[in-house]
Structure 1
Amino acid sequence: MKSDFGKLKNYIEKNTVLMTELESLLTSIPALAPENGGDGEEEKCAALEKWLAENGITNLRRYNAPDSRVSAGFRPNLVAEIPGENSECAVWVCAHLDVVPAGELSLWNTNPWQAVVRNGKILGRGVEDNQQGLCSGVLAALSFVKQGIVPERTIKLLFMADEEVGSRYGMNFLIEKHPEIFGKNDRILIPDGGDPLGQTIEVAEKNILWLKFHTVGKQAHGSRPDQGCNAKLAACSLALKVHGLESVFSEQNPMFEPCRSTFEPTMQYQNVSGVNIIPGDDVFCADCRILPVYSLDEVRKEVARIVSETEKEYGVKIQVEELQAEQSKATSPDSPVAQELSGAIQKVHGIQPRFIGIGGGTVAAGLRNSGIDAVVWSTMDELAHQPNEYTVIENIGKDALVIAYMAC
């Protein structure tokens, strides 16, 4: 009931700083995917599960995704539920447990795996991405549980695996294997992106296509290019053609930043080990972010065309591998979840939000493609994946207030 919001607000404001305890616990347990040299999220999930139970959130359920690459044999997905008067329209807060590696340690001013509280901020790997959103959802739930207040709507907190490297064992696993857990009328919030004022609500994402191009020519001595077939030269030409697809898919949409589709050659694999060797083999990758007005099949067709063109021009063979492909529908700004979140932000913080699209990918894409509306929102400085990542402690409470308002 909205009449209880004053009590909820008072609890959240008094207990926001206590979330540093949970942040410290979670930061101390690196939850890295096998692709990033880690052993998954189970140790972190088990610690969170224990902490929640000790603090009164006891309605917990696991949805483990089998993965033989990690010692646990699975990747954990945990749902905490706080039953409300209305279970037909639950409010979800979906945060991910995994983090990215710390990167170059010399760039950090603190130990990335030890949360440090300083000047109203918490520093450490994962404290913002995505532990801030995780803690906001937990704090909102505790404001009901600790005061014996039954929310108007059931609150469901999802703690996912595998978001950083594709969500195969996280959200996408849940959508495929356990679609029954999400109701068509549920209000799903993903606190995994935002801005320092909390005034942007993400309702659309660019389509994502990550490509790996393997060019095969013939190795030769640097002084005898006539005896070889320079795979590097062909790959350079292809990289420019990939980038040139921006002029093919040229529509613009001011909802996104940048407002156009982007086709960026990125990672380059090592080929030869000497300056005087003409490479017969070359591998590079490209990160393509495409406005939703274009389908991935349209892009694939153009990629096939420029690959064929390059093969004929340089006498090489080119293999193309898709490392990631994600085509996302949009959530309408007029949808119930978008309008209710917008109204809650206005009511609680006096901010008029605006709806945006982003180039990055979130787990909202899978939900939207399955017919479930979802929005991405948080109040954050956007330090994801950077050295000296931090979260502003006050933001945890500010976002918890909005979540509580939507549920009460």
Structure 2
Amino acid sequence: MLDTLLKALAGRADRALELQTGVTSFPAVGPDSGGPGEWDKAAWLEARLRAYGLTDIERLDADDERVPSGKRPNMIVRVPGKSKRMVWVLGHLDVVPPGDAGLWRSDPWIVTRDAEDPDIIRGRGVEDNQQAVVAGSLIAAELVEQGLTPDLGFGLIVVADEETGNKYGAEYVLEQRPDLIAPDDLVLVPDFGTADGTLIEVAEKGTLWLKVTVTGVQCHASTPDEGKNALVAASAMILRVREVEERFNAVDPLFTPPRSTMAATRHDANVPNVNTIPGKDVFFIDCRVLPAYSVDEVLDAFRGLGAEIAAQYGVTVAVDVVSREPAAPATPVNSEVVTLLKEAIFRIYGLECHAGGIGGGTVARLVRHRNIPAAVWSRVFDNAHVPNEAARLSDAV
């Protein structure tokens, strides 16, 4: 059966292109990033799956009044097998904004093929995470169209809101359906990978996103002594972020990089004109924390730093949590899903894989928090979130 499936999939590059072109055309950016959400994209994908003959499609949409549809779509697609056990592939519909349009060679919402290598396509989301969605869709469709009944059932879970916290996506699905994934099911999350495909991700650091609001006193820039410059105080705190990182200096060689990382990232606009001392300044910190530490320890450290800055500059500093996701238990390197995945990769690609951990976060963390092993693997360019995001059609088939 496997040889029949693989042979059929090998001839589906055109279908992979059709799916990638369709889903890319919808700017499925979440409302936290100023977008309309994933509703239209999900509707198009569901229609295509039904056209391929798939009928066991369940929706678990989450209410979200911030998007035009009022819903964030989540879809569960099943193909029954000889056993009640399932192989699940998890992918997400949402994408990040394209960023500076001037850095793109073409419209980010229109798939283009590379002139020299037509196997390479470009567009926002083609890697993150449409390659996973397309690959899972192709497998499900081929099983039905070829009339194949696998030993284990095959399921595709496509969720919203992965890029901004999972509240309306995988977290919602697993809360509503805690029995959806059984403890002995096999779970694959193709949301991280390397170009050579030799890394199977089995562990993720804890994630802590912080919003830092510095409040001073606004005044005219010609009389700066009459105010308290919130930008200066915020800048001083940003320059000391590295100090906090150095306090959490444990090393774990399972991860790349092998330490906890803490970085100032986004900065919101303060005043629109040059000649005003800002009385409020807001910036954000992204923390990726090794399992050796609690994310709450890191939160306390930054709040302590904020208190020092407040006293030094005569301002107030509020450190609020945007997202808090403690590290989940690692998937054992000798677990069934990792062992079988290694064997499959060697059989198909001739590659010897190794297990490792990353600082990025995927929905695998939510599965692992429920004590269900999950493996993260794919072959990708590793160019998510950048201009001219690219993927190979052959990596989806």
State the TM-score, normalized to the length of structure 2. 0.94
> Which residue number corresponds to residue 403 of structure 1?
none
Per mean C-alpha deviation after superposition, the further-off stretch among 30-39 and 76-85 is 30-39
Q: Deviations over 1:44-67 (max 9, x none)?
A: 111111111111211111111111
Q: Which amino acid aligns with 1:23?
A: Q
Q: Which amino acid aligns with 1:271?
A: N
Q: Deviations over 1:298-346 (max 9, x none)?
A: 1122122222222222222111111111112122212221222122112
Identity of aligned residues (%): 41
The SS at the match of 1:325 is strand
> Which residue number corresponds to residue 381 of structure 1?
381
Q: Where do residues 142-291 of structure 1 align in structure 2 (5 Å cutoff)?
A: 142-222=141-221, 224-273=223-272, 275=274, 277-291=276-290
Structure in which a larger fraction of residues adopt helix? 1
User: Measured at CA, do residues 274 and 47 of structure 1 come closer, stay the same or move farther in structure 2, by a change above 3 Å?
Assistant: closer
Q: Where do residues 7-406 of structure 1 align in structure 2 (5 Å cutoff)?
A: 7-87=4-84, 89-118=85-114, 119-222=118-221, 224-273=223-272, 275=274, 277-329=276-328, 330-397=330-397
Instruction: Say what the alpha-carbon RMSD is for the aligned residues.
Output: 1.8
Q: Deviations over 1:113-139 (max 9, x none)?
A: 222233212222222211111111122
Instruction: Point out where structure 2 has 5 or more consecutive residues left out of the alignment.
Output: none
User: Measured at CA, do residues 218 and 36 of structure 1 come closer, stay the same or move farther in structure 2, by a change above 3 Å?
Assistant: closer
The SS at the match of 1:357 is strand
Q: CA deviation at 1:155?
A: 0.3
User: Measured at CA, do residues 64 and 313 of structure 1 come closer, stay the same or move farther in structure 2, by a change above 3 Å?
Assistant: same
User: Measured at CA, do residues 226 and 386 of structure 1 come closer, stay the same or move farther in structure 2, by a change above 3 Å?
Assistant: closer
User: 2 CA distance for matches of 1:370 and 1:318?
Assistant: 36
The SS at the match of 1:128 is coil
User: Measured at CA, do residues 270 and 185 of structure 1 come closer, stay the same or move farther in structure 2, by a change above 3 Å?
Assistant: same
User: 2 CA distance for matches of 1:55 and 1:24?
Assistant: 17
> Which residue number corresponds to residue 404 of structure 1?
none
User: 2 CA distance for matches of 1:168 and 1:239?
Assistant: 29
Per mean C-alpha deviation after superposition, the further-off stretch among 19-28 and 29-38 is 29-38
Q: CA deviation at 1:226?
A: 4.3
Q: Deviations over 1:237-294 (max 9, x none)?
A: 2222322112100011222222211111122223345555443322221111111211
Contact 1:328–1:366 under 8 Å retained in 2: no
User: 2 CA distance for matches of 1:374 and 1:198?
Assistant: 17
Contact 1:29–1:113 under 8 Å retained in 2: yes
Contact 2:189–2:376 under 8 Å retained in 1: yes
Q: Which amino acid aligns with 1:364?
A: A
State the TM-score, normalized to the length of structure 1. 0.91
Per mean C-alpha deviation after superposition, the further-off stretch among 354-363 and 219-228 is 219-228
User: 2 CA distance for matches of 1:94 and 1:40?
Assistant: 18
Contact 1:327–1:365 under 8 Å retained in 2: no
Contact 2:290–2:327 under 8 Å retained in 1: no
Contact 2:209–2:322 under 8 Å retained in 1: yes
Q: Which amino acid aligns with 2:78?
A: E
Instruction: Point out where structure 1 has 5 or more consecutive residues left out of the alignment.
Output: 398-408
Contact 1:28–1:114 under 8 Å retained in 2: yes
Contact 1:263–1:287 under 8 Å retained in 2: yes
The SS at the match of 1:182 is coil
